[in-house]
Chains A and B, each alone.
Chain A
Amino acid sequence: MAAVQFRKQQADIINYKGGKVGVSAVPGSGKTFTLSHLAAKLVTRLSRRGALDTEEVLIVTFANAAANSIKAKIAEILAAQPGMLPHVGYRVRTLHGLSHDIVRERPSLVGLAEDFQIVDERVSAKILDEVVSTWLRVRGGDLLQRYLHPEQESNLPRLLNHEDNFPALAYNIADQFIRQAKDRELAPNTLRTLIDSRPKDAPLLPLASFGMEIYEAYQRGLQMRGAVDFNDLVRMALAALNSDSHYLKRLQTRWRFILEDEAQDSSRMQEKLLRLLSSDTNWVRVGDPNQAINTTFTTANPIFLREFLEERGVKSFKLSQAGRSAPPIIDLANQLVRWTVNEHPTPELRTAFLAQDIQPVKADDPRANPVEGKAFVNYRPGEKVTPERELEMVVASLEKWLPNNPDKTVAVLVPENSRGFKLAELLRERGLPFEELLRSTSATRDAAARLRLALEMIASPATLTGASKLGTLYRDFWFKRHLGAESEPPEEFLQWRDGVVKALSNCRRIEGFLNPPIGVSPLAVLDLPTDLEDHYRADLEDFRAMMARWLSAVSLPIDQLSLTIGADLYSDPVDIALCYKIAQLLRGMAAADPSARLPQFVEELDKISKNQRKFLGFDDSEFGYTPPAGVITVATMHAAKGLEWDRVYLLSVNNYSFPSAQPYDNYMSERYYIRDGLNLEAETLAQLETLLSAESYTEGEASAQARLDYAAERLRLLYVGITRAKEDLTILWNMGRFWKTGSEREQQPALPMVVLWNYLEGDKSR
C-alpha cells in the first residue's frame, strides 16, 4: 500500500476517520480506486483492533459488475498484508445482495423458512406472464379499448393478441407497478383497500386497478412456491430490521463503516436501509450525479445523492480531477454539461446535470491525461445517414485503424442491444475481431448450449436426430479439445473431422457404434475408410467411450446426469460453476414438475442458451470486464459505464435514442396504438401515486413528465458515452429504421450532437 500515490483530493478521502461524508466525483477521477483503498484501510484498522470476527466494512454498489470489480480490487490491496484470509473483514454487495444477507440471517422474522427460495428472473417472468395473460384473456379488450388510438380501432384484435403488442405492454405495466408497490412497501391487500375506499365519484384508475389485481395474483404465485422475488427481499430486509431492534443493533455493530459507490443510482429504499444500518453515522457516499443513467422506470434517483451532499453534518468532498481522457474529450464532455445547464432550449432539462467540470490532472501525475487525442462529430448539415450506412462507416474506419493500432483498445457503443447485435453480425461477416458486452455473455450461452446438445443426444439416442447430435458433439466439443486443439489445425485433421461428422450423422445403427457387440469394431457401422491410421482410430474410440459413459448415466436424477456430463464437458472454472448452477436449476425444475423428463430439460436449456433466461448469481456481469487490445468491444452505453477504451465510437445518437423534449422527438415508451401519446407505464405509476397521496390524477401529466425524465437521462447517457474515450472519440447518428416509411418517422441527429458539432466547428474556426 505504501507504494500507491494518491492525489490530494483522493488522499483527503483516504484519510477518512468516521462520520458522514459525501463525494461528488467526475468520470475517470479514480472513484472506485479511491473507495477500494479506503475500504482496505478501514479493514486493516478493524483487524489491528482484533475486531474482525464481529465487525466488517460494508460496501454497497449498484450493479454486480461493479461489486465484483471493487471486491477484486480490495482483495488485491489486502493480499499484500500477511495473515489476512481472503475476503474477510469486508463485504461488497448490491442492494439486493445486502437485503438477501439480512433476510437470510433471520428468515423467521419475516415468516420464511431457512431454505426459502428467491425466484430468479426466469421464474418470476413466467409467473407474471401467466398472470397477465390470464387477465388479458378476460378483460384485456376493455383495458386496451380505453386507451386505444382512434385510428387503430380496427386493429384491436391483432394488437390484443399479438404478444409483441399490447400483451408486452401490459406485462411491462404490471412489472413496473409491482416493483413500485414493493418499493413503497405496499402489500396487495393494502392497495385493494385503498382502491375500494375511493369515493364513488372519484375518477377511475383503470391502470392501477389492473396493476393491483396482477400484483395479488403474482404474489399468490410466489407463495405457492414458498418463494420471494428480488424486490420482496429489500422490503423484507427493512421489515426484519424494523421488527427486531436487537438484530438491527447487531448489524449496526457489524457494519462499522458503510461505503456506498455509485450513490447517484441510490433509491429511496437503499437510502432508507443504509441510513438505518449506519445509524446515520459512519457512512461514505460516492457518486457522480451526472452519470445517473438508471433512473427510467427504476426507483433510482440522483436526487438522493445531491440532497445528501447538502445535508447538515455531511462533509462534502470533490473528486474533480480526472486523468483518463485527452483534453479534447474532456472539453467536449464539459461543453455538453455547460450547454445543458445554461442553454438547453427546454428549461426543465437544465437540471439534468450538476454543474461541475472535469479537470485534467497535473502533468507529473502517474496517471496523467493522454496528451494527444481527438473528438469528432460525424455530422454534415443536411446529410442523411441510413442505419446501414452508419454501420458501414464505423466498420470501414475500424478496418483501417485496427491494423495500425494492435496495442490499443477500441469500443463501439450503442444505445440499445439490438443495434449491437446488428453491428456484431457485420463485424463477424468482415472477419474483424470483436467481443460482445451485450445482454449476456456468449460464454454463458455456450456452456448451456453444450450441455443441451449432450442431453439432446441422450434423450433420443436411437434416432437420426440423436446420431446427428453425436456428430455435432464430435465437431464442436471433442475435436476442438483433441485433434483440433491448435488454433489452425492441419487440413488433414479438418477433413477427418468432416468425415466423422458425416459418418456419425448418417449412421442408422448408432448403437453399433456406441455399444458394439463383443468382438466387433465400433467403426464397422460407420461409413469411414477401413485402413484408418491408429491415431484416428484411437481418437474415435476415445470419443465413443466418453459418449457411452454419458449414456450410461441416463438413469441418474437430472442434476447428477448434468454434473456427470459437465465433468467431461467443461474445464474452465466459470463453466464448471455454471454447470453446477444449471444442475441445481434443473433439479429444482424436476422437483416442481415430477412429470418433467429429458425433453423438457432440454427445452429449458434451450431457452437459457438462446438467452431467453437469465441466471441468478451468474449473470453477464459476473466478472469485471477488461477490454483486450486489438479487439473491438461492442457494448451498450449502459454496460460501458466504469470502463474505458483508447478509441470510442458512439452510434445512433439521434433524436429517438437521445430525445431533447422537442416537438419533433419520438419516444420509445409511447406506443403508436395508444391515444394521445400516452406513456402507459408512467400513467400507471401516477395512478399508484394518486392512491397513496389522495391527490387528483390528470391523465397525460405523467407522460409529459416521463418525456422530460427520459430526455434528461439520455443526456447523461451521452455524457457517459463521451467520457469512456481516452484518446479518440467519434459520434455518429442515423435516420432510424423507419425512414423509408415517410419523413415523419425519419430520425434527426440528436440536438446535443448538433450542438457539440457546432462547438467543435467553432473551435476550429477559433
Chain B
Amino acid sequence: MSDFLSQIDDSRLNRRTFLIGPAGTGKTTYATQHLLRLFERGVPTDRVLVLTPQITIARPYQNAVHGSAFGGGTVSILTLSGLARRLIEVFWGLIAEPMGFANPGAEPIFLNVETAQYYMAQVAQPIIDEGYFDAVNVADARIVSQLLDNLNRAALTRFPVDQVAERLINAWGGERDSRRPEVYRKAAEIAEAFRARCKSQNLLDFSLMLESFRAHLMPDPSVQKFILDYLDYLIADNVEEDNPIAHDFIAWFTPRAKGALVICDTDGGYRNFLGADPDHALDLENVCDETVTLTESKVMSMPISALAASFNRVLGRTFEAQSVSAPLTEAVTLKTARFYPQMLDWAIEEAVKLVESGVSPREIVFLAPFLNDSMRFTLSYKLKALAAQKGISLETLSHRPSRALRDEPPTRAMITFAALAHPGWKIRLPIEDVADALYQGIEGIDPVRARLLAEIVYRRQGDNHILSPFAKINPDMQERITYLAGERFDQLREWIESYKAQGEYEGLMPVDYFWRRLFGEVLSQPGYGFHDNLEAGRVIAQLIDSAQGFRRVLYPVGSDWETAGREYVSFVNARLLPALSPQRWFEEEADAIFLAPASTFLLRNRVVDYQFWIDCGSSGWSERLEQPLTHPYVLRRDYPTDQVWSDELEEDTQKDALYRIVIGLTRRCRKQIYLAVADLGESGYEQRGMLLRVLQRAVGGTDETSTSESSDQVEP
C-alpha cells in the first residue's frame, strides 16, 4: 500500500483514475484517504459524490469522514437509486408528464420494497387465484416478488417491459414444459397493469425511479447542468457490483468531473441477482486518464495465500496468487460431522477457543450460504452459552435478511397491545398472546405470573377486549401475582383504556403513533419491559418506521386509521413484512462475532482473521436461487435474445459463482479458515455440493499435483 499511497498528490486528486485489483489489496483504504485528502486540500465536503452499489459498502467512507476533522460536513454518500430519488424530487415537474404520471401536480410517492410488494400483490393476487400460475409451484408472495424483479431488471437493462416475456420464453426453449410460455405472458400482463396503476397514482417503485433517471433526467440539459453545478468530484467504489445505469452515469460524469476515482474489484460480482454487471464495469476504464492495478494482498498470510492459489488451481482460473509454498495446514481446519447440529457445535467450540485465547470476537465470522432463523439462533445462543460457561462475555451480531418482522418477540407484544386498544380491528387474541405481551411488557413479572394475570384479567366481550383492574382480583391471587406487578399492570391498563376513550371521542390515531406513544410513555419507562432494552428498542423503532412508511404511501391523506392499522397488522401477521433495517454503523463496529450469509459478508468490505465456513456440503455455495418467473442472466443486457438457457450455461454460472465466493472469502481472511461439513444437511438430506468436491481437490490432497503438506492436514 505504501508505494501507491505515497503517490497521492494533488495532481492525482484532479485526475480520473481507474483503480483495479482483487479484494484485500487496499483499494478502499486508499480511496478513503483520497477522500480525506480532497477535503484537506480545501474541496468543500458537499462537492464530492461517493457512489456505492449499496449503502453498507459505503461504511468505510462514512467511518472515515465521521472520524476526521470533516465529520461535520455534508458528503453525498449515495447509491444510484438514492441519487435518482433526490433528482426526481427536484425535477418532478419536469418529468411527471412525459413519464405519463396522472397527477403531475401532486407529489411523487416513492415505494420501498414492502409497499411495492403490497401494490403488486393487489394487482397479481386475483390472477394467481384464478390458477394462471399453477404450472409453477411457487408460493404467492414469491410470485409477486419475482414479478417486481422482472420490472427492475427491465429497467436496469434498458429494454421495454414487454420484452421480458419474450426473452424468458426464448430462453426457456421449445422442448420443455409447454405451459411455461403462457405463464411468462401472464406475468408480463400483470407487470404492465402494475405499471399503469403506479402511473395513475404517482407511485414510483425502484424500476420507475431508474427509468425516470435514465430516460428523462439524465438526457435533460438542465439536470446535467444541475449536477455539474453542485458536484466536482466522484469516488465510485465497487463498480463491479453496480448496475449498468450506474455505470452509464459514472461514464457520463467522470470526464466532466474535476477528479474521479473509479474502483473495481476483479473477483467481485456478488450482486448479479440485483443487476450487477461486472463485465460492463470494466468499460469504465476507458473514461479514465490512468489505470492503476493492485495485486499484492495486504491481508492474506502466506498460508492463506497458498490456499487461495490452491483454489485458483482447482477452479481453473488463470489468476496466480503470490505464494504457493506455505503449508495449507496452517490455513485450514476441516471437520466433517454426521449431523448438522454436531457440525455447528464443533464450530462453536472452536470459535470460543479462539476467543479464550485472546482473539477479538470482531475478528471471527461465521459464514454460510444461507442463514435461516433456526441456525442463526442456535449459533448465537450456543456461542454465548459456551462462552459464559468459560466466564467470557461474548456477543454476536447477525445479518438476517429473511427474517419476518413478526418473528421478533417485541413486535408480537406490540401487536397484542395494539389489538387490545383497537377492538374495531376484531382480532382474536389467544390467551397465550396476552400473557406473553404482559410478560414482555411488565418488568419483574415472570411467565407463570403473567399467565395467571392474563387468565384472570382478560376476557372478550363481543369485539371488545376487556382488561379488568388488578384491584378486582381476589387478594390471594393478588399476592401470588405480587402487588408491584399489579400496580404496573394497572398503569398499563389505564393507559390503554384512556387511549380507547380518547379514540372514541377524538377519533383514532395511526398505529405508528399509537406504538410510538405506548413505547415512549409506558413501555420504555422504568418498571416496564422495554426499559433499558436496546434490542427491543431497535425492533420497535423498526416496526414504527415500517408502519409509518406504509401509512404514508397507502394513506397519504386519508384518516381512516382503523382500516389502515388493521391492514398493516394483518400484513405483519401474515409474515409478509421482512425486518429490513440494516445494522447501524456502531452495531457493525461492535466487538462481536458476525454471523451472515457468505454473500452478505462479501459486500461488507470487511477483513477478518478467522472465518468459519458453515455447511460446506451445501449446494447453496454455488447454486443460484431458482426463480421460475424471472432470470438474472437471461434478463441481462448482453444475453442473446434467441439463446436457450442451457445446462452448460447453468453449470458455468455455478462454477463462476463458487469461484467468486471462495476466492472472495479467502481474500478477506488473514489467518485461518475453518471448514465445517455436515454429512446430513439441515433437513436431514445428505449433501454433495460443488464446494465439497472443490475442497477435496484443493485441500484434500488427492489431486495429483497437490503438495504433501496438504494431504495430512485434514481431520477426518
Q: Which residues of A contact B (CB under 8 A)?
A: 47-48, 50, 52-54, 56, 71, 79, 82-89, 91-93, 97, 100-101, 104-114, 116, 222-223, 226-228, 239, 243-244, 246-247, 249-250, 458-462, 466, 509-512, 514-515, 517, 548, 551-552, 554-557, 559-560, 563-564, 567, 573-574, 576-577, 579-581, 583-584, 587, 591, 594-595, 597-599, 615-618
- Interchain CA distance A548-B447 in the complex, whole Å: 9
Shortest beta-carbon distance, B527 to chain A, in Å? 16
Inter-subunit contact A573/B338 (CB<8 Å): yes
Inter-subunit contact A577/B447 (CB<8 Å): no
Which of the listed residues A85, A105, A511, A517 has the most CB atoms from chain B within 10 Å of its own CB?
A85
Inter-subunit contact A52/B480 (CB<8 Å): no
Which of A246, A574, A580, A597 meets B647, CB within 8 Å?
Answer: A246
Interface residues on chain B, number (Cβ under 8 Å): 90
Inter-subunit contact A105/B623 (CB<8 Å): yes
Which of B628, B686, B695 meets A112, CB within 8 Å?
Answer: B628
- Interchain CA distance A342-B24 in the complex, whole Å: 79
Instruction: List residues 697-716 of chain B with CB under 8 A from any CB of chain A.
Output: 697, 700-706, 710-712, 714, 716
Inter-subunit contact A551/B341 (CB<8 Å): no
Does B636 make an interface contact (CB < 8 A)? no
Inter-subunit contact B695/A104 (CB<8 Å): no
Q: Please tell me which stretch of B67-75, B203-211, B432-440 contacts chain A, meaning at least 4 of its Cβ atoms lie within 8 angstroms of it.
A: B432-440
Which of A114, A243, A581, A584 meets B177, CB within 8 Å?
Answer: A243
Does B132 make an interface contact (CB < 8 A)? no
Nearest chain B residue, comparing its CB with the CB of A517: B482
Which B residues touch A85, using CB under 8 A? Answer: 334, 336, 677, 692, 695-696, 700, 714, 716
Shortest beta-carbon distance, A52 to chain B, in Å? 5
Inter-subunit contact B702/A84 (CB<8 Å): yes
Does B446 make an interface contact (CB < 8 A)? yes
Which of A52, A112, A509 meets B693, CB within 8 Å?
Answer: A52
Does B418 make an interface contact (CB < 8 A)? no
Nearest chain B residue, comparing its CB with the CB of A568: B385
Which of B175, B340, B342, B446 meets A551, CB within 8 Å?
Answer: B446
Q: Please tell me which stretch of B37-45, B231-239, B405-413 contacts chain A, meaning at least 4 of its Cβ atoms lie within 8 angstroms of it.
A: B405-413
Q: A113-B627, A564-B381 are in contact. Are A515 and B407 (CB under 8 A)?
A: no
Inter-subunit contact B446/A514 (CB<8 Å): yes
Inter-subunit contact B446/A511 (CB<8 Å): yes
Inter-subunit contact B679/A573 (CB<8 Å): no
Which of B180, B447, B680 meets A552, CB within 8 Å?
Answer: B447
- Interchain CA distance A352-B701 in the complex, whole Å: 51
Inter-subunit contact A577/B342 (CB<8 Å): yes
Q: Which residues of B contact A (CB under 8 A)?
A: 134-139, 142, 175-177, 179-180, 314, 334, 336, 338-342, 345, 373-374, 377-378, 381-382, 385, 407, 409, 412-413, 428, 430, 432-433, 436, 439-440, 446-449, 451-452, 455, 480, 482, 573-575, 619, 623, 625-628, 646-648, 650-651, 677, 679-680, 682-686, 688, 690, 692-697, 700-706, 710-712, 714, 716
Q: A52-B693, A517-B482, A591-B575 are in contact. Are A581 and B374 (CB under 8 A)?
A: no
- Interchain CA distance A462-B448 in the complex, whole Å: 6
Inter-subunit contact A113/B374 (CB<8 Å): no
Shortest beta-carbon distance, B537 to chain A, in Å? 16
Shortest beta-carbon distance, B704 to chain A, in Å? 5
Shortest beta-carbon distance, B333 to chain A, in Å? 13
Q: A97-B686, A580-B374, A581-B684 are in contact. Are A50 and B714 (CB under 8 A)?
A: no
Which B residues touch A84, using CB under 8 A? Answer: 696, 700, 702
Which of B179, B619, B647, B716 meets A244, CB within 8 Å?
Answer: B647
- Interchain CA distance A574-B650 in the complex, whole Å: 36
Q: A53-B314, A554-B436, A616-B683 are in contact. Are A226 and B696 (CB under 8 A)?
A: no
Q: A515-B446, A552-B447 are in contact. Are A557 and B373 (CB under 8 A)?
A: yes
Which of the listed residues B176, B180, B439 has the most CB atoms from chain A within 10 Å of its own CB?
B176
Shortest beta-carbon distance, B425 to chain A, in Å? 15
Inter-subunit contact B701/A618 (CB<8 Å): no
Shortest beta-carbon distance, B426 to chain A, in Å? 14
Which B residues touch A92, using CB under 8 A? Answer: 686
Which of A101, A110, A222, A559 meets B688, CB within 8 Å?
Answer: A101
Inter-subunit contact B646/A461 (CB<8 Å): no
In the assembled complex, 12 residue pairs joining A and B whose CB atoms fall closer than 8 Å, in A order, are A54-B693, A79-B716, A86-B336, A87-B679, A91-B688, A105-B619, A113-B139, A116-B137, A226-B139, A577-B684, A616-B684, A617-B684
Q: A88-B692, A580-B341 are in contact. Are A618 and B137 (CB under 8 A)?
A: no
Shortest beta-carbon distance, B543 to chain A, in Å? 15
- Interchain CA distance A52-B138 in the complex, whole Å: 34
Known: A82-B711, A246-B646, A557-B373. 12 other contacts (CB 8 A): A53-B693, A83-B702, A114-B623, A114-B625, A226-B138, A554-B447, A559-B374, A560-B373, A560-B374, A563-B378, A597-B430, A597-B432
Which A residues touch B714, using CB under 8 A? Answer: 83, 85
- Interchain CA distance A239-B338 in the complex, whole Å: 32
- Interchain CA distance A47-B336 in the complex, whole Å: 19
Q: A53-B694, A113-B138, A574-B339 are in contact. Are A108 and B628 (CB under 8 A)?
A: yes
Inter-subunit contact A617/B432 (CB<8 Å): no
Shortest beta-carbon distance, B48 to chain A, in Å? 41
Q: A50-B697, A50-B702, A85-B336 are in contact. Are A108 and B436 (CB under 8 A)?
A: no
Inter-subunit contact B703/A111 (CB<8 Å): no
Q: A85-B714, A107-B626, A617-B683 are in contact. Are A557 and B650 (CB under 8 A)?
A: no
Which A residues touch B378, using CB under 8 A? Answer: 563, 580
Inter-subunit contact B448/A461 (CB<8 Å): yes
Which of A47, A227, A552, A581 meets B702, CB within 8 Å?
Answer: A47
Inter-subunit contact A112/B336 (CB<8 Å): no
- Interchain CA distance A88-B345 in the complex, whole Å: 22
Which B residues touch A548, using CB under 8 A? Answer: 446
Inter-subunit contact A52/B697 (CB<8 Å): yes
Nearest chain B residue, comparing its CB with the CB of A514: B448
Shortest beta-carbon distance, A226 to chain B, in Å? 4
- Interchain CA distance A761-B368 in the complex, whole Å: 68
Which A residues touch B694, using CB under 8 A? Answer: 53
- Interchain CA distance A646-B466 in the complex, whole Å: 71
- Interchain CA distance A54-B447 in the complex, whole Å: 55
Which B residues touch A87, using CB under 8 A? Answer: 336, 679, 686, 688
Nearest chain B residue, comparing its CB with the CB of A251: B647
Nearest 7 pairs between A and B by C-beta? A617-B684, A83-B701, A246-B647, A114-B626, A577-B339, A515-B446, A247-B647
Which of B314, B338, B433, B704 meets A597, CB within 8 Å?
Answer: B433
Q: A47-B702, A552-B446, A560-B373 are in contact. Are A573 and B682 (CB under 8 A)?
A: no
Shortest beta-carbon distance, A90 to chain B, in Å? 9
Which B residues touch A247, using CB under 8 A? Answer: 647, 650
Nearest chain A residue, comparing its CB with the CB of B706: A83
Which of A114, A223, A560 meets B377, CB within 8 Å?
Answer: A560
Q: A50-B704, A83-B702, A573-B338 are in contact. Are A511 and B433 (CB under 8 A)?
A: no
Q: A88-B696, A555-B409, A597-B433 are in contact. Are A227 and B446 (CB under 8 A)?
A: no
Inter-subunit contact A595/B142 (CB<8 Å): no
Q: A226-B137, A555-B409 are in contact. Are A53 and B341 (CB under 8 A)?
A: no
- Interchain CA distance A462-B432 in the complex, whole Å: 12
Inter-subunit contact A577/B341 (CB<8 Å): yes
- Interchain CA distance A71-B385 in the complex, whole Å: 35
- Interchain CA distance A335-B546 in the complex, whole Å: 78
Which B residues touch A594, using CB under 8 A? Answer: 573-575
Which A residues touch B482, using CB under 8 A? Answer: 517
- Interchain CA distance A559-B381 in the complex, whole Å: 13
Nearest chain B residue, comparing its CB with the CB of A247: B647
Nearest chain B residue, comparing its CB with the CB of A107: B626
Shortest beta-carbon distance, B211 to chain A, in Å? 28
Nearest chain B residue, comparing its CB with the CB of A553: B447
- Interchain CA distance A459-B175 in the complex, whole Å: 55
Which of A88, A111, A581 meets B137, CB within 8 Å?
Answer: A111
Which B residues touch A48, using CB under 8 A? Answer: 704
Which A residues touch B627, using CB under 8 A? Answer: 108, 113-114
